[in-house]
Amino acid sequence: MSLTIQQLSLRTGTRTLLDSLDLALESGEVLGILGVNGAGKSTLLTVLAGLAVPASGQVRLDGQPVAGLPPLTRAQHIGLLPQGDEGGFFGSVADFVALGHYPFGPPPDLAPHLATWELTDLADRPLATLSGGERQRARLAQLAVQAPRIALLDEPLTHLDPAHQARLLGWARGEADAGRSVALTLHDPNWAACHCDRLLFLFGDGRWQLGSPAALLTPASLETLYGPGTAALWQQGSRGQPV
């Protein structure tokens, strides 16, 4: 299953965020999307999920326009983890995680998913009583229960401690290795180097750059993307791997 982006442009007001992006997100791939705040990363994921309309261009799922698919059909194939927190959900953690299987009917056994994200002891707790990191893990568990063929994650490392960040990125790699596709927005180039097959740089002024981590992750390119002084974010070893 592939998600194909054709001549996609994004605008907000009179500002062009992204101009004429061509990209095919293939099965088995982890795509990392990097850029400054306000560069259009969240907007792009929302458009890819079929929840917003681009200024121009198309997004197709196996040849079918995503925006024209019934919502339930989209949810059976594409999962989106937005930045926003689910305020106002008054059920338990288990109830919240189970919602991930709504497009397919009654949920399966949640125990493995709760265990993966260390939520077993929190399953009966109201979601609203959890810390930010615990809620983020519940959101990730919900996405895992949905098991979309294409997972779109907007800053999924938010609120997570380093151990759970590593677990999340390992999960993304496992999804890709199982033949699914993952696109996620990141700010840490070292995580991107370790876990992504390709990177998409968004400059927020229409420009974009697509390539391998080896090609794009250099001190010079990071300073072009993020601004002067940000090359220190990237610690490169002798073989081009983070140290």
DSSP string, the chain: --EEEEEEEEEETTEEEEEEEEEEE-TT-EEEEE--TTSSHHHHHHHHTTSS--SEEEEEETTEEGGGS-HHHHHHHEEEE-SS--TT--SBHHHHHHGGGGGGSS----HHHHHHTT-GGGTTSBGGGS-HHHHHHHHHHHHHHH--SEEEESSTTTT--HHHHHHHHHHHHHHHHTT-EEEEE-S-HHHHHHH-SEEEEE-SSB-EEEE-HHHH-SHHHHHHHH-TTGGGG--B-TTS-B-
Q: Please give the pLDDT value at position 242.
A: 45
The domains of the chain, with CATH numbers, are 3-233 (3.40.50.300)
Q: What's the average model confidence in pLDDT over 137-142?
A: 96
- Model confidence pLDDT, tens digit, residues 70-128: 999 999 999 999 997 666 788 999 999 999 999 999 988 999 999 999 999 999 999 99
Q: What's the average model confidence in pLDDT over 17-39?
A: 97
